[in-house]
Amino acid sequence: MRVQIVASMMLAAAALMPALAQTPAPTPAMPIPEGFTALFNGRDLSGWRGRPGKGGVFSPYVEAAFTDAERAAKQAEWNADRDRHWWVDRDRGELVTDGLGVHLATEKPYGDIELLLEWKLTVPNGITGIYLRSYPQVQLWDPASATNQQTGAFRGSGALWNNRDDSPGKWPLVKADRPIGEWNQLRIRMVGERVWVWLNGQQTVDGQTLDNYFHRGQPLRATGAIELQTHGTEVRFRHLYIRELDR
């Protein structure tokens, strides 16, 4: 009888093994750095709204000119699209996009900030980016992408790709990307119109001016949204923290 019981327990354990193997590993706990607040709660999209994206850009000047009624109607439309293409992987505490919908933008506008986050491309040729005050962008992409070599992917991520060709900061100082499927750590500091970027602990931009993509040569708006870009492929984000800076 005892042999039968033991055999039954072993069979039950064996049956559970495939299911356990498929259970995702939880995101390692990461305490909020001192002086920072969390932008993402790991559970839902609270604090985030949709803004037109899919690899494109939407001018904050156009949005600022909306009437209250226009803004409410547009935001309802954008948020509906957000809910189709962004979701939370609660088992891992990760923010996920399929790359096909609107950008994900903070509801709160920010000025001078320090931003910490981790991002991961899950497929080759992936692209995303971080818009600052709704201006493009700190570029994040696959350096080995066969489809983006002519636009500079081979140089690596973490620079101000939408700057003019002759603007310092358009290309990263070093290539510091980790392989597809691995997490990358990003630190961005923005004071006034100047931006500093570190990718995986290596500095890729050193206090260069972010060009005004919408009105070249004009000053940037003092505040605006932090945006996570969609560009056709799945991207995952986690550990998003921000600190507002006093000049």
**Non-local CB neighbours of 131 within 8 Å, separated by 6+ positions:** 103, 105, 137, 225, 226, 227, 228, 229
As a whole number, mean pLDDT of residues 131-158 equals 96
Model confidence at 29, in pLDDT bands (50, 70, 90)? low
Is residue 18 pLDDT above 90, yes or no? Answer: no
pLDDT bracket for residue 27 (50, 70, 90): low
| Beta partners for residue 242, in sequence order | 37, 115
pTM reported for the whole predicted model = 0.88
Give pLDDT, residue 1: 45
